[in-house]
A and B are shown apart, each in its own frame.
Chain A
Amino acid sequence: MNKNRKRYGWTGTILEVDLTRSAVRKVDLPEQLAYNYLGQAGINARILYDRVSSDTDPLSPEAPLIFGVGPLGGTLAPCSGRLSVTFKSPLTGIFGDSNCGGHWASELKMAGYDHIVVTGKAKHPVYLWIDNDRVEVRDGRSIWGKTTWETDELVRQDVGERTAQVACIGPAGENLVRFAAIICNKARAAARCGPGAVMGSKNLKAIAVRGDRGIYVADKSAFSEAVEEAVSAILADPLYESAKTYGTLAITPLAQALGFLPTRNFQESTFEGADKLAGEVFIKHFATKHKGCYNCPVGCSRLYKVAGGPYATHGEGPEYETVSALGAKCGNDNFESILHANTLCNQLGMDTISTGNTLAWAMECHEKGMLDETDLDGLDLHFGNAPAMMALIKRIADREGVGDVLAEGAYRAAKKLGGSDWVVQSKGMDYPAVDTRGTKGMALSFAVSPRGGDHLKGLSLYEVAPDVYAQDIKKETGIDVTPQYWLQYETKAGLMRWHENWHCVVDSLGLCKLEGIAIKPLLPRHFQRMLAAATGWDVSVADLERIGERIWNLERLFNVREGMGRGDDLPPRRLLEEPIATGPARGERLNRESYEQMLTEYYRLRGWDQENGIPTQDKQRELGLI
């Protein structure tokens, strides 16, 4: 960016850190990069694409670990506390990114940086201290081995700044668990695809930041008006009170009622213990206080406490995904144990989704007689055995006994131990807590996601709540919804394409998509108005969607370079072959032929070739990618 011009929205600076040489450098954010990829996830993706090749080992020193905040991150815009971390995934070997809230991302903006690109490997454990302009690589040997909670406190003591924000890894990241997380503020996890392992491979324990500078916007009064319009839309949303009270735990009863709550490793899609895992139960018995990320009008998170007994604990969360992964998927209806496990995963620094799925897969292997107690360090790992789950979570983080192979994730563990048929994954990544045999559009978006089995890149509430959003769906996408819209294959390719493009935009602006495209209150015009006023950039809604499309295509090209093709865009075997046996979605499965037709239509709409879903030369040219 032009040094003589005041920076609006973006800070205009990328921090490059080479841990091998213990050297840091500040680089101007190129203006064209910002205009083509916005920021946060988008710019991260471009930097990653340019700096790795198919030969790059995700855990090698040369593999970059990229942190990014968007042009609206840290501003007056609602829900502007998001961080994206982008890397080549040690779990899947392909494109990897992960996103979290909290207060770390906004602090990085206040310190004067949009992105941090970390490469190399330190000779011994270190941490990074970013005190505004001053950036230091500090000795981290005394905190290596500590949990994320201990690290958070020790680092702030060491830098002598209690209000610094800390992002760090726990023992799981140090031990290169392939689904290890980076944890901000003790509980906000950038976890999917295993960024914690990448950080661990660099001997980087933590990044602490303090920012006293601040953010300027181009047109303060127009920006305030645009923000006010967005906040009003959030407050007026029919789901606002529910989101404010239960957060994502409001989804559990809906999942049970529609029959998409994966149970016992996706063998069923309703759970007899679902009532015990409802948001109401949590609020009544365990929640001690509500909590919110930076500048969020919803504050969907909560603090909890289990006062006594074997699962005594306290912490923040849990999300629907966590309760399902460590609950229904493992046949476990003991909420106290789920909270205990959530705190453990946060302290050890592990993705709760992949942790739950890996345990659930091992449980099915045990049930089917493929893994017995001698394989499992003497643990009787039947579905619902919560004490055995707690023991295994620790073993995975420490790579101890059977934990060593489970730390590779279910997909790789199955290659060693057998049981691949029961791993519910795409491109090596474990599926989140939606049984997509019933929701055909999500079946497509989970399977084509650039980071593998994933719900967040194309998440569509429009699909499961068509009655509430029929008007918006029509207005935004031109699609007329039909009764039980989620069950149909038709029009889903277009619906998902729209969602994917706009999720790319939201993830690149610095905003939370829960209040963005996923749960609806914010629409494209809100993002456009806020961005234009904040940056002074004459950008249109169509420009923004084009940017979203560009980012999506770039992530696809990354995976094409890694050898991915049409065969990798199929749902897991179980969802294609085994119909749901019980519950309201009984009999549903994904019909291979109908799915392939939907995929073909999706490739056509995307401008990708039919054979392998490769963006055509024309499409790449149109998007300025070649």
Chain B
Amino acid sequence: MGYAASIRIIPENCRGCRRCQVACSSHDPGPLNPRLAGIQILQLEDEGGNYPVINMECLERFCGKTHPRDTERKPACVGACLFGTLEMTQRKDNNE
């Protein structure tokens, strides 16, 4: 069994700014809209907390949307988060 790069979500740090969504969507051709991003932020109603949820395929396969500033292979959503909500991590790769 091998390891592959993946994304770890730390929801306590999420400020709900949607910079991750904006960064993801801006890499696609067509208009910018955070609703089109592979990551979405759920709004938890009671005390207004924000909870990011990411597409399974974003976790399983690198999307290739790298920010020019980042030297490592890092998706745009992770690069855009300035509050420590999204981190690169290693996950067990079941395919091997």
Per a CB cutoff under 8 Å, which of B22, B33, B83 touches A290?
B83
Q: A291-B16, A299-B15 are in contact. Are A212 and B47 (CB under 8 A)?
A: no
- Interface assignment of A344: CB less than 8 Å from any CB of chain B: no
Encoded as 1 (CB less than 8 Å from any A CB) or 0, chain B from 1 to 45 comes to 000000000001101111100110110001111111000000101
Query: Is the Cβ of B45 less than 8 Å from the Cβ of A314?
Result: no
A480, chain B: closest CB distance, angstroms: 36
Cα(A293)–Cα(B43), bound, Å: 13
Question: Is the beta-carbon distance between A213 and B17 smaller than 8 angstroms?
Answer: no
- Contact status A110-B47, CB under 8 Å: no
Cross-interface CB contact of A103 among B18, B36, B45, B82, cutoff 8 Å:
B18
Partner of B50 from the list A213, A216, A228, A291 (CB cut-off 8 Å) is A291
Cβ contacts A282-318/B at 8 Å (1 or 0 each):
0000001111111111010101010000000010100
User: A291 CA to B34 CA in the complex, in Å?
Assistant: 17
A418 at the interface (CB under 8 A from B): no
B48-A213 in contact (CB<8A): no
Q: How far is the CA of A75 from the CA of B31 in the complex (A)?
A: 10
With A292-B16, A297-B19 in contact, is A213–B47 under 8 Å at CB?
no
Partner of A186, one of B16, B35, B48: B48
Cβ of B64 < 8 Å from any Cβ of A? no
Q: Report the minimal beta-carbon distance from A496 to chain B, rounded to whole angstroms.
A: 32
Whether the pair A212, B48 counts as a contact (CB closer than 8 A) is no
Which residues of A lie under 8 Å from residue B25 when comparing CB positions?
214
Residue of B nearest to A234 (CB): B82
Q: Give chain B residues whose Cβ lies under 8 Å from the Cβ of A228.
A: 68-69
Instruction: Please report the C-alpha to C-alpha distance between residue A392 and residue B14 in the assembled complex, in whole angstroms.
Output: 36
CB neighbours of B16 from chain A (8 A): 291-292
**With A290-B83, A295-B19 as given contacts, are A303 and B33 in contact (CB-CB < 8 Å)?**
no
Within 8 A of B (CB), among A110-141: 110
Across-interface contacts of B13 in A (CB, < 8 A): 290
A303 to B12, CA, bound (A): 12
CB-CB under 8 A for A214 and B32, given A76-B26, A186-B48, A288-B47 = yes
- Please state if A292 and B45 are interface contacts (CB–CB under 8 Å): no
Min CB distance B23 to A, Å, is: 8
**Contact partners of B82 in chain A: CB under 8 A:** 235, 297, 299
| Given A153-B45, A224-B26, A288-B47: A214 in contact with B36 (beta carbons within 8 A) | yes
Given contacts A212-B33, A215-B33, A295-B22, contact A316 B48 (CB under 8 A): yes
Whole-angstrom distance between the Cβ of B84 and the nearest chain A Cβ: 10
Q: How far is the CA of A163 from the CA of B69 in the complex (A)?
A: 32
Q: Of all chain B residues, which has the CB nearest A102?
A: B16
Q: Mark B50-94, 1 if CB is under 8 A from A, else 0.
A: 100000000000000000110000000000001100000000000
Residue of A nearest to B82 (CB): A297
Residues on the A chain within 8 Å of B49, using CB = 289, 303
CB-defined contacts of A187 to chain B, threshold 8 Å: 48
Interface residue tally on A, bucketed by range? 35 or more
Q: Which chain A positions have C-beta within 8 A of B48?
A: 186-187, 291, 303, 316
B12 near A289 (CB under 8 angstroms)?
Answer: yes
Task: Give the size category of B's interface with A.
Answer: 20 to 34
Cβ contacts under 8 Å, A292 to chain B: 15-17, 19, 83
CA distance A228 to B31 in the complex (A): 19
Cα A211 to Cα B50 with chains together (Å): 20
Q: Which of B22, B31, B43, B83 contacts A216 (CB 8 A)?
A: B31
B47 contacts across to A, CB distance below 8 A: 288, 303, 305, 314
- Contacts of A296 on B, CB cut-off 8 Å? 17, 19
Chain B contacts for A289, CB-based, 8 A: 12, 15, 49
CB atoms of A295 and B18 under 8 A apart = yes
Q: Which residues of B contact A224 (CB under 8 A)?
A: 26
A110 vs B32: C-alpha distance in the bound complex, in angstroms?
Answer: 8
Contact in complex: A290, B15 (CB < 8 Å): yes
The winner among B13, B32, B68 for most chain A CB atoms within 10 A is B32
Contact assessment for B32 and A75 in the assembled complex, using a CB-CB cutoff below 8 Å: yes
Q: Which of B23, B33, B69 contacts A213 (CB 8 A)?
A: B33
**Nearest CB in chain B to that of A214: its residue:** B31
B10 to chain A, nearest CB (A): 12
Which residues of chain A have C-beta atoms less than 8 A from B26's C-beta? 76, 220, 224
Please measure, in the bound complex, the distance between the C-alpha atom of A287 and the C-alpha atom of B14, giving whole angstroms: 14
Residue-wise, chain A 184-223 has the 8 Å CB interface mask toward B (1 for contact) of 0011000000000000000000000001111111001000
How far is B16's CA from A293's CA once the two chains are assembled, in angstroms? 7
Which chain B residues border A297 with CB–CB below 8 Å?
Answer: 17, 19, 82
Q: Do A299 and B83 have beta carbons less than 8 Å apart?
A: yes
In the assembled complex, the Cα of A433 lies from the Cα of B78 at a distance in Å of 39
Identify which of residues 133-151 in chain A touch chain B, using a CB-to-CB cut-off of 8 Å. Answer: none
Q: How far is it, in angstroms, between the C-alpha of A215 and the C-alpha of B33 when the chains are bound?
A: 7
Residue of A nearest to B13 (CB): A290
State in angstroms the CA–CA spacing of A74 and B25 once bound together. Answer: 12
Quote the shortest CB–CB distance from B29 to chain A (angstroms): 9
A220: nearest chain-B partner, CB-CB: B26
- Is B15 touching A215 in the complex (CB atoms < 8 A)? no
Within the complex, the shortest CB–CB distance from A222 to chain B, in Å, comes to: 13
Task: Please report the C-alpha to C-alpha distance between residue A299 and residue B43 in the assembled complex, in whole angstroms.
Answer: 16
Q: Which residue of B has the minimal Cβ distance to A235?
A: B82
A215-B32 contact in complex given A186-B48, A299-B83, A305-B47, C-beta closer than 8 Å: yes
Known: A76-B26, A296-B19. 5 other contacts (CB 8 A): A76-B32, A220-B26, A290-B83, A299-B82, A303-B49
Interface set of B (CB-CB < 8 Å, partner A): 12-13, 15-19, 22-23, 25-26, 30-36, 43, 45, 47-50, 68-69, 82-83
14 sample A-B contacts, Cβ–Cβ < 8 Å, listed by A number: A75-B32, A76-B23, A76-B26, A153-B45, A163-B43, A211-B35, A214-B36, A291-B16, A292-B16, A292-B83, A295-B22, A296-B17, A297-B17, A314-B47
**When A and B form their complex, which 9 residue pairs have the shortest distance between CB atoms, in order from nearest?**
A214-B31, A292-B17, A214-B33, A292-B15, A299-B15, A215-B32, A290-B15, A295-B22, A296-B17
